[in-house]
């Protein structure tokens, strides 16, 4: 079987679906899963609805905000963030670096004093890695008690292995006044890009479903196995071959290069250097309503086997049956844990945190895996991506989205990147060398 289309889209996540909605030219979209959405999907079991951990909409682009509101209408909730940090046996407000009030006195003093020393330090060199960035911006106390242990649990590597380039938008940078106010228990403002967010009442999966509604040419359960760059053809597992003028890919960049027949050795070598860790997490159905009022909590403590726990049912009561609650628990392990051996440790930590009272609060637990979760921005990452990008352009391939662009971004960014890629594809189709 063979066919051809001006634009072929690989991947039916938010970036791919946004690109499809913004294209004027004919297209086909190929998604290997049985439903669209990528990581932004919602599954249902026994009247509980689970996302793939916390997927919340932070949309800054006015055009994308209008798109989301137009698609979801009154399904869309606007929510003010309630988040906490659990450390030293107590809760403090997020972000840790601006809210040390409530910590043991010696810990709070160390954090504030370290911030003040860093704030007034002179002649600091440019940080070579994320650990140096943390020490320069926040000081030794905040680094030791939160930033280093938390980020090591989340990324799966020590912060000195990561560059500081990824974090400019996502790590809140308090002023000295913020830190002093927070230490006194009187924070002046909400910090961070996620102080408010949008969320569909019945789960984030409503967004890709709405994006895909009415689109022709969207095909699920179709897996690409090879890309012939000379013939500009994608071969699928079921035997179909699809020719393209422009290939718009939102699948992981490393996977994309691996599919390309005849990729130069230096491109393959650059792709081999790209690192991305998986995520194992637990979906937990509760027999009772949530016993906490926050949306999620960060957990830097090394002896706790998870780095973050969130409460789905505090996003929306429509995600659970009447009287029930639900959690997601993001595990620090990057290898598949043994759930029977792990669960008692997780449960004990949740009890200490007051999230549950005991086993009777839990109806069922499910282990989940996200194959591509956190791109590791190590010291070879950006050079590798920049080596690959022009080669893709030479072959009329646009690679975009969080994993197609190999970046750290929010869902609103994915929508905007899909829109921009669609416009770039239209320009390529009109270019003089178009054949």
DSSP 3-state of 49: strand
Q: Which domains does the chain have, with CATH numbers?
A: 2-41+205-275+377-429 (3.50.50.60), 49-61+75-81+194-204+276-374 (3.90.660.10), 97-191 (1.10.3110)
CA distance 305 to 332: 6
Residue 261 has a CB neighbour count (10 Å cut-off) of 12
CB 81, CB 198: distance < 8 Å: no
pLDDT of residue 212: 97
Listed in sequence order, the residues at least 6 apart from 106 whose beta carbon sits closer than 8 Å to its beta carbon are none
CB 179, CB 145: distance < 8 Å: no
DSSP 3-state of 370: strand
What separation in angstroms does the CA of 339 have from each of 278, 344, 366, 373? Answer: 17, 9, 9, 20
Residue 93 β-bridge partners: 84
pLDDT of residue 187: 81
Residue 228 β-bridge partners: 233, 261
CA distance 166 to 184: 31
Listed in sequence order, the residues at least 6 apart from 45 whose beta carbon sits closer than 8 Å to its beta carbon are 285, 364, 366
Closest CA to 6 of 422, 306, 432: 422
| pLDDT tens across the length of the chain (435 residues) | 678 999 999 999 999 999 999 999 999 999 999 999 999 999 999 999 999 999 999 998 999 999 999 999 999 999 999 999 999 999 999 999 999 999 999 999 999 999 999 999 988 888 999 999 999 999 999 999 999 999 999 999 999 999 988 776 778 899 999 999 999 998 867 887 778 999 999 999 999 999 999 999 999 999 999 999 999 999 999 999 999 999 999 999 999 999 999 899 999 999 999 999 999 999 999 999 999 999 999 999 999 999 999 999 999 999 999 999 999 999 999 999 999 999 999 999 999 999 999 999 999 999 999 999 999 999 999 999 999 999 999 999 999 999 999 999 999 999 999 999 999 999 999 986 644
R_g over Cα of the chain = 23
Name the pairing type of β-strands 90-93 and 397-399.
unpaired
- Count of alpha carbons within 13 angstroms of residue 117, beta-carbon side: 12
pLDDT of residue 166: 75
Q: If you write DSSP's letter for every residue of 281-338 in order, what string do you get?
A: EEEEEESS--S---SEEE---TTSSEEEEE-HHHH-GGGS-TT-EEEEEEES-SS---
CB 424, CB 272: distance < 8 Å: no
CA dihedral 227, 228, 230, 233 (to 10 degrees): -80
CA distance 394 to 4: 20
CA distance 40 to 43: 10
């Amino acid at each position: 079987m063979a066919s051809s289309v001006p634009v072929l889209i690989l991947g039916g996540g938010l970036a791919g679906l946004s690109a499809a909605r913004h294209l004027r030219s004919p297209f086909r979209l190929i998604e290997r899963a049985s439903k669209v959405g990528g990581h932004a999907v919602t599954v249902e079991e026994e009247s509980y609805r689970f996302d793939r951990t916390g997927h919340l909409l932070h949309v800054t682009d006015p055009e994308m905000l209008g798109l989301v509101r137009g698609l979801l209408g009154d399904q869309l909730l606007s929510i003010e963030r309630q988040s906490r940090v659990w450390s030293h046996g107590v809760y403090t407000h997020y972000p840790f670096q601006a809210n040390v009030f409530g910590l043991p006195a010696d810990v709070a003093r160390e954090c504030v004093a370290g911030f003040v020393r860093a704030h007034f330090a002179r002649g600091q060199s440019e940080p070579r890695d994320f650990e140096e960035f943390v020490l320069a911006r926040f000081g030794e106390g905040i680094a030791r008690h939160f930033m280093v242990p938390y980020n090591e649990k989340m990324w799966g590597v020590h912060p000195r292995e990561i560059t500081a380039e990824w974090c400019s938008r996502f790590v809140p940078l308090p002023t000295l006044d913020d830190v002093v106010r927070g230490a006194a228990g009187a924070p002046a403002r909400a910090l961070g890009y996620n102080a408010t967010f949008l969320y569909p009442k019945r789960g984030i999966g409503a967004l890709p479903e709405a994006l895909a509604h009415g689109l022709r040419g969207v095909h699920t359960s179709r897996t690409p196995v090879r890309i012939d760059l000379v013939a500009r053809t994608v071969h699928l597992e079921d035997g179909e071959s699809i020719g393209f003028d422009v290939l718009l890919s939102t699948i992981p960049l490393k996977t994309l290069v691996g599919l390309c027949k005849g990729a130069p050795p230096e491109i393959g070598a650059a792709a081999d250097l790209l690192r991305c860790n998986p995520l194992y997490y637990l979906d937990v159905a509760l027999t009772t309503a949530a016993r906490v009022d926050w949306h999620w909590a960060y957990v830097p403590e090394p002896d706790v086997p998870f780095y973050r726990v969130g409460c789905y049912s505090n996003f929306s009561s429509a995600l659970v049956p009447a009287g029930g609650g639900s959690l997601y628990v993001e595990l620090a392990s990057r290898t598949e844990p043994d759930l029977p051996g792990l669960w008692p440790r997780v449960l004990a930590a949740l009890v200490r945190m007051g999230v549950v009272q005991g086993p009777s609060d839990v109806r069922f637990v499910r282990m989940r895996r996200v194959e591509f979760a956190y791109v590791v921005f190590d010291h070879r990452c950006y050079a590798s991506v920049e080596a690959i990008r022009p080669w893709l352009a030479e072959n009329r391939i646009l690679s975009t989205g969080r994993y197609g662009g190999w970046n750290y971004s929010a869902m609103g960014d994915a929508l905007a990147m899909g829109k921009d890629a669609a416009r770039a594809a239209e320009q390529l189709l009109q270019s003089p060398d178009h054949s």
